[in-house]
């Protein structure tokens, strides 16, 4: 790749953390998971979609999720994170970028993500107009330590690779 081609590629990183409370379900990656805990937040608290939203906005230099969807706004109370991601994606597209791939990690002691990975990846891909092989997803536990390991929090990270169209 020459310098001109490289200047068209952007990388962004997103991270999010939410406290966990008793009672489910857990909304993660746009799906509802039957679980005895739920993420606490102003919106639907989908930690994975929030990390993805921040990653794509960051790669396109368009700010962050808190600037576009402040948690002080009543309009964002219980808002769907899929809707927020779609709005962010429209901004990214309008800025002339497309997503090449996402690589995501969810940090949760429970539930185990293996049974849900394909459905989560499919939901994210459909939401963003991507192929499923453009969405990577891994699950990690907290090994019984820190807020994740003691099931007081759930975290997610995402790295997004974007390319300028044309």
The pLDDT score that the predictor gives to residue 68 is 93
- Domain containing 113 equals 3-164
- 71 confidence band (pLDDT: 50, 70, 90): confident
Residues 6+ apart with CB under 8 A from 7: 164
pLDDT digits (tens, 9 = 90+) for 8-22: 999 999 999 999 999
Please give the Cα distance from 45 to 27 (Å, whole number): 7
**CATH number of residue 158's parent domain:** 3.30.1330.50
Angle formed by the axes of helices 117-128 and 81-94, nearest 10°: 40
For 84-142, the pLDDT digits (tens) are 999 999 999 999 999 999 999 999 999 999 999 999 999 999 999 999 999 999 999 99
How many domains, in total, are found in the chain? Answer: 1
Give the pLDDT score at 66. Answer: 93
Q: Which pLDDT score is estimated for 73?
A: 85
Cross-strand bridge partners of residue 160: 12, 102
Q: Which helix (H) or strand (E) element contains residue 100?
A: strand 97-107
Q: Is the pTM of this model over 0.85?
A: yes
The confidence score (pLDDT) of residue 72 equals 87
Predicted confidence at residue 1, as pLDDT, reads 61
The end-to-end CA distance of the chain, in Å, is 15
| Torsions phi, psi for 5 (to 5 deg) | -65, -40
Mean pLDDT of the chain: 95
* Mean pLDDT of all residues in 148-161: 97
Residue in 74, 64, 72 with CA at minimum distance from that of residue 160: 64
């Amino acid at each position: 790749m020459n310098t001109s081609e490289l200047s068209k590629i952007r990388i962004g990183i997103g991270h999010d953390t939410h406290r966990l409370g008793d009672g489910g379900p857990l909304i993660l990656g746009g799906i509802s998971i039957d679980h005895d805990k739920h993420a606490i937040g102003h919106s639907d608290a989908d930690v994975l979609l929030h990390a993805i939203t921040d990653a794509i906005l960051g790669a396109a230099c368009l700010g962050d999720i808190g600037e576009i969807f402040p948690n002080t706004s009543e309009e964002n109370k219980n808002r769907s994170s899929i809707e927020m991601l779609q709005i962010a994606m429209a901004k990214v597209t309008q800025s002339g970028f497309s997503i090449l791939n996402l690589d995501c990690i969810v940090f949760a002691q429970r539930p185990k993500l293996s049974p849900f990975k394909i459905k989560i990846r499919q939901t994210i891909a459909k939401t963003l107009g991507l192929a499923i092989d453009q969405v990577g997803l891994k699950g990690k536990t907290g090994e019984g330590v820190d807020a994740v390991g003691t099931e007081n929090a759930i975290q997610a990270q995402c790295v997004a690779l974007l390319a300028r169209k044309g």
